Amino acid sequence: VGRRGLSEVAAVERAAREIGSAGLEWDKLGFGYFETNGTVQGEFRGGRLRSLEFVHGFSSQINVAAAALQYGQSCFEGLKAFASKDGGVRLFRPGENSRRLNSSADRLMMPQIDEEIFVEACRMAVHNNIEFVPPYGTNGALYLRPVLFGSSPRIGVSPATEHKFVVIASPVSKYYRGDSKPVRALVMDRYDRAAPLGLGNVKTAANYAADLKPSSHAKKMGYDASLYLDPKEHKHIEEFATSNFAAIKGDRYVTPSSGSILASITNLSIQQLAQRMNLKVERRKIPIEELEEFDEVASLGTAALVSPVSSVVHGEKQYKFGADKTDEEHSPVFKQLHRELIAIQTGQSPDEFRWMTDA
């Protein structure tokens, strides 16, 4: 697919519309399914990309025996496009998402997608949905959901030879409840999201399916998030159902190291900002009891943002962070790190780390 061809089409489409002209209630978006103009859809046959185009609408015809439906051969990404202070729209670290998708695809025996094609597909999704990019200053973003899945029919278990690659675009703001209160989390001690040498570090649909029941149970009990422990011993903290775990302990930024968690690009970026703030970054095993010693805890992810956590309940035990603080005073270090990240994402601060790419 010619890069120039795609960009030219996109430029013409874009000229007719403007950032945020859909005029939605940007502060009430939350994080849900929202139909924009359409999706980018590509076809792979024999491991080679045969087509990539913008399709008006959210449907695609697939064989009901597709490997993705029968055997879960599917992986995805989540990244955001931000309206910038200078009037442009920029993607946050799409190269990292491209690398992670290719690593997931490799584990699930699906084709690699060139970074250039991946980024161009993201740009096409943004340009064709430009009026749904939340305007600068609204705290929202256009969330992009690239998905790669096995589309050829399989009844015997074997990898597909045909695949679809789609990019969905949807305007979003906060993932957790909209009242800005810190998150309350419940430790999952009767469920695991992943196996020790399984797919925990792969961004595949199955990991989220494994969490549907545990998390809906936690939500019914009034918790906002589920926190998983290591699947081998249930002694160490792994991650939240849809985001990474990190904590502040004095002058240290502590985050789990484990082969069965997903490498969050938000967490990676916040670690760089923490180092710039002279915090010492520790990536290591975190025993569950260490929760007692943390000043702040946060849930970090593209969707989850950097959301302060006020309490973690583990069986009969409740760990509280910043218990004497009001919601506004809660988690000052994570809030500062988040402000610095947003400032880069929206062009208020110089892009010192070269994280942003023009959409």
In the complex, the residues that contact ligand COI under the rule CB under 6 A are 78, 208, 242, 301-304
Which residue's C-beta sits nearest to ligand COI? 78
* Closer by beta carbon to ligand COI, 67 or else 303: 303
Residue type at 256? P
* Closer by beta carbon to ligand COI, 242 or else 271: 242
* Least Å from the CB of residue 74 to ligand COI: 13
* Least Å from the CB of residue 303 to ligand COI: 3
Integer Cα distance of 236 and 257 in angstroms: 10
* Least Å from the CB of residue 260 to ligand COI: 17
Two tokens at 54?
A: 């913008």
Integer Cα distance of 102 and 265 in angstroms: 15
* Least Å from the CB of residue 145 to ligand COI: 7
Query: Using an 8 Å Cβ cutoff, are 207 and 261 in contact?
Result: no
The DSSP call for residue 134 is: P
Two tokens at 74?
A: 């599917």
Complete DSSP assignment for 223-290:
-SEEEEEPTTTS-BEEEETTEEEEEEETTEEEEE--TTS---HHHHHHHHHHHHTTPEEEEE--BGGG
* Closer by beta carbon to ligand COI, 10 or else 101: 101
Query: Using an 8 Å Cβ cutoff, are 52 and 121 in contact?
Result: yes
* Closer by beta carbon to ligand COI, 242 or else 255: 242
Residue type at 350? P
* Closer by beta carbon to ligand COI, 226 or else 302: 302
* Least Å from the CB of residue 175 to ligand COI: 6
Tell me if residue 296 falls in helix, strand or coil: strand
Query: Using an 8 Å Cβ cutoff, are 126 and 89 in contact?
Result: yes
Query: Using an 8 Å Cβ cutoff, are 165 and 52 in contact?
Result: yes
* Least Å from the CB of residue 16 to ligand COI: 29
Which sign does the torsion angle of CA 338, 343, 349, 354 carry? Answer: positive
* Closer by beta carbon to ligand COI, 209 or else 277: 209
* Least Å from the CB of residue 172 to ligand COI: 9
* Closer by beta carbon to ligand COI, 176 or else 319: 176
